[in-house]
Structure 1
């Protein structure tokens, strides 16, 4: 059974009768998909409108001066969003057609055992981002309680623990638990940010113009490094694109799915980056929540904005940072979904997010993104080469679930190509995602053609004897 060549046509995959698969890892049937195009678009707006992305904008400001001016920032963002959209549409297609999650898609290239290694490389950044978003949400929750208590309460750690517990409980109800909260949060947060934008323009425009707009900036390495950081920020998400597209209703073409990615990311990310850079320019503080409290010198408005920040942190975690790592935990431990999301939530408590972003600099966040994306770029390259070049979009999906089938064990070609790509990425980490992506793709084709002649992973590819 092979997938249809029409990108919007789905198939209901039947697994072998003897297959023992945890329910959450089984292919999604057409009837099991409940997310429509509008909800899907708002989901990505909700994912983009968050303080992590705002902090990335703030990272442009170092020692009080922006490394890129406003024009360079937007050009870099447009280039990155265009690449993100293309990779999303290419990599979400298998999940959209067949309903399989990312951890099963990995078996196509890495094998059933090999996929465990590569799935951890997606799961770990998700857990750390989960902890980081929760820390930002906890910081905002602390601002709320501080205002309500008249300053008698001020403990970010307790608020961090509280918001994490709330998210663990909420995530137990599944991917669609807060679909309407996503829509509401994204709209309301955007309105709140428009207000903050107005305040910044009214009272801090001179310093923003000096520090960011008229900054000399650079079209050199910092410009390309920001594109790579932007890509790295989404590297984990579009790598596991199948986890999202398998929830999307049928009949949506590649072009329309591309629109469902490009538009919300452009709107949300573009605006949030701008606010982050403006806040850092105006205050010199890289933590957006603390910068908000300085710029919006009104306790009631601070509470309102902080509420929306908390909602945004929860929304982005449910979309991007809980489900993929939970699938990894399920794959490795065979735990059911509710138990897996609980484990993910507890692990996120140990991610030490306060180290990534300090008041004076968000450089730690940028370094973290560049390092993990050095591995994720090669993995997505291998998946795309496998599906489009070697298999011509034809895959017997049921074989991916057979423990003793053609994808049993691990594929040494994929493991070696991933390491080659990561090695290339670390040669120049500022543009590591691009270097790793190219190097791994070329290495994988050459290894599959010339190495390991008797490998079962050549079956069904253009290199099958």
Structure 2
């Protein structure tokens, strides 16, 4: 198989001869990449407009008042989105240039066996989010069913299962399904959000102004904690950036790819977050679905808004929560792609997502994000340092696919740095992502240079022979 890089350098590999690797995990050739810039942009808009992000916005409202005012909220959002976009563009480069997925990229730093641990740390949160989004979508689907049937049908569980089965079927078609689902969903969802924004602005502006716009707020720890929640919410996604960039058509510069992340995330996340805060301020309810029912007291409009919620759940799952854990299952179990994506959907059914959508659990959702991002910050730091500093962007892709090659086993430096970084993050969980990111990066460089003198993982790095 031949994989071309964006600078027209060709990497010759013999990956087709490697046994036990499913076709979905092999490098994507230029010819196999079907996602253009516009579809890619719509994909990230579709990912950003979802009820999870609204719930995070709603978590700002505590005891009837926002912990951050409107200016502080948007300042935190812009800072976080800027950081997200930079890290996305940096971490997507290896996948974009070589076509390899995230689970294979991990082998570069953690080794073949060590990557099992780090890939599970990405896959498990994605499955939980998959179930969370599906339960939100199932709740909205149930609202539609109640209106259509005049109240004779009322079962969130049945709707949840039906929606999950639909997503499993769609996901069997991989990125081909994602491309058209996201383009359609993002347009419809944005129109629905603009309408809801207008309703809130015209009918509830006074209470929103009192509880959020003119709130005293703070520039202290809650402000930085909210930035960390932003980063934590995207930590799993930009960590597996290679899973997305390998599908993007060749010839797009690093700077343009950065804009393909910044622009849609700013638009989608900004609007969704705003509506989440406004809904919670207007109603005092953290669950966006229930808040919608109060704000939009019209059965026909409720059906429309609920349909947008269902589409939003499907859209975000198709991008962020299905493909990455599927690749993890494919790699660990040697399953083919379609059985693995089915198992992913079934696991999401068993993730108890209803616990995360209770009125009392909006802050719990934020804490869940901060906790798992304590592990994801260190991983992305290690990957970036490995690729840009230690290996100077030079990686032999063929070696990454050899079970007994130079990346066999596990890299003790990476695993120790991960544990130390995560441990440091838990000292101040509100700042978990950035603390874990910085500490793990420093520790990894020091360990690679001074510890484990005979480690084969130093080969090809600036510390080879040291």
TM-score strictly above 0.5: yes
Deviation at 1:8, TM superposition (A): 5.5
Task: Decide whether aligned partners of structure 1 residues 8 and 220 sit closer, same or farther in structure 2, where only a CA change above 3 A counts.
Answer: farther
CA distance, structure 2, for counterparts of residue 17 and residue 380 of structure 1: 28
The ranges of structure 1 where at least 4 consecutive aligned residues each deviate by more than 4 angstroms after the TM superposition are 6-13
Q: Within 5 Å, which residues of 2 pair with 1:117-266?
A: 117-266=117-266
The 5 A counterparts of 1:309-328 are 309-328=309-328
Q: Distance in 2 between matches of 1:200 and 1:17?
A: 56
Structure 1 residue 174 displacement after superposition:
1.2
Q: TM-score, normalised by structure 2?
A: 0.97
Match of residue 14 from structure 1: 13
Query: 1:360: how far off?
Result: 4.2
Which deviates the most, 455-464 or 60-69?
A: 60-69
Judging changes above 3 Å, is the alpha-carbon distance between structure 1 residues 10 and 44 closer, same or farther for their aligned structure 2 residues?
farther
C-alpha displacement of 1:18:
3.7
* Uncovered stretches (5+) of structure 1, i.e. residues with no partner: none
Aligned residues: 464
Q: Distance in 1 between matches of 2:429 and 2:28?
A: 37
- Alpha-carbon contact 1:76-1:227 (below 8 Å) kept: yes
Output one character per residue of 1:144-182: Cα deviation in whole Å (capped at 9) or x when no partner.
001111122221111111101111111111122142221
Tell me, in whole angstroms, the C-alpha distance in 2 between the residues paired with 1:206 and 1:17.
64
Please say which of residues 189-198 and 383-392 is displaced more in the overlay. 189-198
Contact 1:10–1:250 (CA under 8 A) maintained in structure 2: no
Q: Is the 8 A contact 1:111 1:411 kept in 2?
A: yes
**Cα distance in structure 2, aligned partners of 1:16 and 1:319:** 27
1:27 is the counterpart of 2:27: yes
- Contact 2:51/2:133, CA 8 A, preserved across alignment: yes
Other-structure match for 2:92: 92
In 1, the alpha carbon distance for the partners of 2:399 and 2:430 equals: 39
Cα distance per residue 1:55-107 (max 9 Å; x no partner) = 11111111211111110000000000000000000000000000000000000
Output one character per residue of 1:240-293: Cα deviation in whole Å (capped at 9) or x when no partner: 000000000000001100010000000000000000000000011111111111
SS at match of 2:112: coil
Q: Does 1:69 align with 2:53?
A: no
| Superimposed CA distance per residue, residues 407-426 of structure 1 (whole angstroms, 9 cap, x where no aligned partner) | 00000000000001001100
Instruction: Assess if the C-alpha contact under 8 Å between 1:373 and 1:432 holds in 2.
Output: yes
* 1:214 to partner: Cα distance: 0.9
RMSD over equivalenced CA pairs, Å: 1.5
Q: Any conservation in 2 of the 1:322–1:341 contact (CA below 8 Å)?
A: yes
Q: Give the Cα–Cα distance (whole angstroms) in 1 for the partners of residues 278 and 340 of structure 2.
A: 39
Distance 2:332 2:10 in 1: 27
Which TM-score applies when normalising by structure 1? 0.98
User: Residue in 2 aligned with 1:351?
Assistant: 351
**SS of residue in 2 equivalent to 1:150:** coil
Cα pair 2:178 2:319 within 8 Å, conserved: no
* Rounded Cα–Cα distance in structure 2 between residues aligned with 1:401 and 1:378: 24
CA distance in 1 between counterparts of 2:239 and 2:389 reads: 18
